[in-house]
Amino acid sequence: AQRVTQPEKLLSVFKGAPVELKCNYSYSGSPELFWYVQYSRQRLQLLLRHISRESIKGFTADLNKGETSFHLKKPFAQEEDSAMYYCALRALGTDKLIFGTGTRLQVFP
């Protein structure tokens, strides 16, 4: 069965600290993986996708097929990074996304 697991409901750090939001998936094929973010009072939006191998707002995520992980990382957290983060998987040949349960990141000053 396809599944996305985000083990942390809440992650609290101080400004300037490194951040890692964990995401593990189960899928037998080659998935597409995404991170979506929802800032307070804003709509859910795409942060980054593994296929692009890009850094957005200082965040990066590397697909590790051996560990079936797609952790989101940022070396120095900022207060404006405080938001809800969702990891999502799309199986090959479908248009549907499977979302994890989300991790709320709080960055304190």
Position 99 contacts other proteins (CB under 8 A)? yes
Q: Give min distance, CB of 71 to other proteins, in A.
A: 17
Task: Pick the stretch among 19-27, 37-45, 58-66, 69-77 that binds other proteins (CB under 8 A).
Answer: 37-45
**3-class DSSP state for residue 81?**
helix
How many other C-beta atoms can be found within 10 angstroms of the C-beta atom of residue 61? 26
The span from the CA of 64 to the CA of 67, in Å, is: 6
Position 8 contacts other proteins (CB under 8 A)? no
- Are 35 and 72 within 8 A, CB to CB? yes
Position 71 contacts other proteins (CB under 8 A)? no
Residue ranges in 41-60 that form contacts with other proteins under rule CB under 8 A = 43-46, 49, 51-52
